[in-house]
Copies of this chain bind each other. A is one copy, B any other.
Amino acid sequence: MNTYSYNHIKTMAEKKNQDICQQTHFNEKAVKQVLKRMESSDNLLELAHFFKILGDHTRVRILNALYFSELCVCDLTVILEMNQSAISHQLRILRTAKIVKYRKEGKNVFYSLDDDHISDMLNQGMIHTKENKK
Residues of A with Cβ closer than 8 Å to B?
Answer: 16, 18-27, 30-31, 33-35, 37-39, 41, 43-57, 59-61, 64-65, 68-69, 71-75, 77-79, 84-85, 88, 91-92, 95, 97-98, 102, 104, 107-109, 114-115, 117-118, 120-122, 124-133
Number of copies: 2
20 contacts between A and B (CB under 8 A): A18-B109, A19-B88, A19-B102, A21-B73, A23-B74, A25-B74, A27-B71, A34-B79, A38-B64, A43-B129, A44-B60, A44-B61, A45-B57, A46-B129, A47-B126, A52-B56, A53-B55, A118-B128, A120-B120, A120-B124
Decide: A49 and B38 in contact? CB cutoff 8 A: no
Decide: A75 and B30 in contact? CB cutoff 8 A: yes
Majority secondary structure of chain A interface residues (helix, strand, loop or mixed): helix
